[in-house]
A and B are shown apart, each in its own frame.
Chain A
Amino acid sequence: MKLRSIGWPRELDSAQVRLSVGTSIIACLILLAVLAPFLSPYDPEETNPNERIQPPSLTHVFGTDHFGRDILSRVIFGSRISLVVGIISVGIALFTGIFLGSIAGYYRGKMDETIMRTMDALFAFPAILLAIALVAVLGPSITNAMMAIGVVYTPYFVRLVRGVVLSVRENDFIRAARALGESNIYIIFREVLPNCVAPILVQTTTFLAYAILMEAALSFLGLGTQPPTPSWGRMLSEARGFTEDAPWIAIFPGAAIMIAVLGFNSLGDGLRDILDPRYLGTGLSRLASIIPSLKSFLERSTLRRIGSSDEKLVREAVHQGQNLSKRRKPVVHSNAR
């Protein structure tokens, strides 16, 4: 389908490419992780002294390491660690962030001050440095690494959710809910948080990429996954002594990390552009005229954005492609890696 013919904005071309690239990579990664026992040709932990440091060949496509273990099998199984660590650690940060951020933003006052100053204290440390310090105290293990990454990323989610809640709580529909006598918990969960979904979704995707990188970095330093569990970062760490004679031991796990992170980064970027309010009212609304389910989604999201329950106004806004919100500044988390 030629999207331009239905008014698809040029700016969304690259977003569509990024979304496709990101989704494809992540789908492959998930498949790899789920089907690891069926896809890997060898046991990832099985050592074979007779086949130590073998270059890539038909028998061992990615070669073998200094214990004779098959690198392809270890790379395939390593995807499980990366995905699990990414999902659990970002999950910790996400739920803590939503809880603390909505309390801080909704209730304001002393609660807000206390939470945000604590988060400021955590922001004073570079992310990887704080994670290293936490794991150093808790002891090196994959569980502690996940907890450390979760704690380190929590302030980023708290700040995001608080910001969105602060802007949403001033809308008329929140005042209306209060006037109707709805409880604060109901208002937060049913009225406020659904409006925060888009920015949280974008940030979660981006932070999954950062979490995979940080797990790899911690494992590389010996603070994450412990041997013989196959993890990409750990494999790179073990490869350091063999860079000269067997570069393939380092090349493949590193490439796997890069591809996985690229997938999540691309998906995050694509989602950010697609969910940008400037385009929600233009290209997508035209596309919605063809896809009915997208149409109802847009109507719901527009209803939330304009904070009006007037159905006619909402339909008009969606169909005319009005620019209803100010442009969001791109969020940079350069310190979070």
Chain B
Amino acid sequence: MQVMYGIMASPENIEMARRQLGLDKPVYIQYLVWLTNMLQGNFGASLRTHRPVLQSVLERVPATFLLTMASMTIALVIGILSGVVSASKPGSKLDYIGAVLAQLGMSMPDFWLGIILILVFSVRLQIFPSSGYASMIENPFESLRHLALPAITVGTINAAIITRMTRSSMLEVLSQDYIRTARSKGLSERLVVYKHALKNSLIPVVTVVGTQFGYLLGGVIIVETIFAYPGVGRLLYTSIYQRDYPLVQGSVLTLAFAFCLVNLIVDILYLFLDPRIRYD
């Protein structure tokens, strides 16, 4: 109530507001009302701006979507490539370097990497801006420049996990009989690795990518805050500080919904990647 009406609000005004918001009703009734409204797309209004929550959140979704996709692309390209290279020469120096880098990547806090990247690429080299956002449709070049550092921050750490998963999955596939058959037919190592082994080794990687999406969304909240990037994550952060609970609920639900949706897509993707899997 203090957030809405200030600390000087009279007890009468506070009581009236409580009745208007339905806070005088039992908790389970409040929950049912909220649930019914939410299922109808009514997430309530922001306590600060009084704008509909759904509208405020949806405005931020494109920026977060763009950042998530860019980060995932970076993570997949680096992760799969380094995982395959490590697995195709196990025990080599390249493999050890890859393992050490992946271990460091997994141990590095994303907010620290973000600060280091700002320090190097924004402050010292002045190549990329340290904050802000530009629309991809209106100004694609500026948009990419603003996207670069946040996407590299989130993507690099995810790449470490994908590298390890790809490597172990690839090693398992490479030890199977059909790979030995392919090699004994005289096929080149490149053909064996990239044509015969890669597709099968990607099945567990897809699972990781799906679950990793959750971490990616978590990383996005922190990274958007560091780079002042106007996405759902930053909206959540500011709404927590402003104690704007309807907006906190809306942002959390949107991110959780996106996470569940991606997991569903991953489950469906299995059908195409592995013909042995069939859902009834």
Contact = CB atoms under 8 A, between A and B. Distances in A.
Interface in B216-272: 217-219, 221-222, 225-226, 236-237, 240-241, 248, 252, 255-256, 259-260
Contacts of A132: 221, 236, 240, 252
A334 B218 contact: no
Interface string B80-115: 000000000000000000010001101111111001
Given A240-B226, A243-B115, A332-B161, A262 B104 contact: yes
Given A217-B111, A223-B240, A262-B104, A127 B252 contact: no
Interface stretch (A169-177, A253-261, A279-287): A253-261
B252 A261 contact: no
Interface string A109-152: 00000000000000011111100110010000000000000000
Nearest to A265: B107
Contacts of B222: 128, 217, 220-221
The list of the 3 closest CB pairs from A to B, nearest first, reads: A128-B218, A254-B112, A126-B214
A266 B104 CA distance: 10
Contacts of B259: 124-126, 129
B119 A250 contact: yes
A24 to B, nearest CB: 15
A240 B99 CA distance: 31
28 contacts: A124-B256, A127-B214, A129-B214, A129-B218, A129-B255, A129-B259, A132-B221, A133-B248, A216-B109, A216-B111, A220-B109, A236-B109, A236-B111, A236-B112, A243-B123, A247-B119, A261-B106, A261-B107, A265-B106, A269-B103, A332-B161, A332-B211, A334-B158, A334-B212, A335-B213, A335-B214, A335-B215, A336-B215
A239 interface: yes
Among the interface residues B123, B215, B219, which one has the most CB atoms of the partner chain A within 10 A?
B215
A220 B116 CA distance: 15
Interface string A313-336: 000000000000000001010111
B208 interface: yes
A255 B113 CA distance: 10
Contacts of B217: 126, 129
Nearest to A14: B99
Interface string B185-214: 000000000000000000000011001111
B165 interface: yes
Given A220-B111, A254-B116, A335-B211, 5 more contacts: A14-B99, A124-B256, A125-B252, A133-B252, A334-B211
Contacts of A14: 99
A258 B116 CA distance: 13
A128 B259 CA distance: 13
A159 B240 CA distance: 31
B274 to A, nearest CB: 16
Contacts of B111: 216-217, 220, 233, 236
A250 B237 contact: no
A127 B255 CA distance: 12
A60 interface: no
B115 A250 contact: yes
B42 interface: no
A334 B215 contact: yes
A251 B225 CA distance: 19
Contacts of B107: 209, 258-259, 261-262, 265
* Central interface residue in B109, B208, B221, B225, by most chain A CB within 10 Å: B109
Interface residues of B, number: 43
B47 interface: no
Given A258-B104, A258-B107, A337-B218, A221 B237 contact: yes
Interface residues of A, number: 43
B73 interface: no
B74 interface: no
B118 interface: yes
A124 B123 CA distance: 39
Contacts of A125: 214, 252, 256, 259
Contacts of B225: 221
Contact of B123 (A222, A240, A244, A257): A244
B110 to A, nearest CB: 8
Contact of A332 (B104, B165, B213, B260): B165
A217 B109 contact: yes
B168 interface: yes
A213 B119 CA distance: 21
Contacts of A136: 240, 248
A193 to B, nearest CB: 27
Contact of A335 (B106, B115, B116, B212): B212
Contacts of B116: 250-251, 254
B72 to A, nearest CB: 12
A136 B218 CA distance: 15
A209 B161 CA distance: 14
Nearest to B207: A332
B98 to A, nearest CB: 13
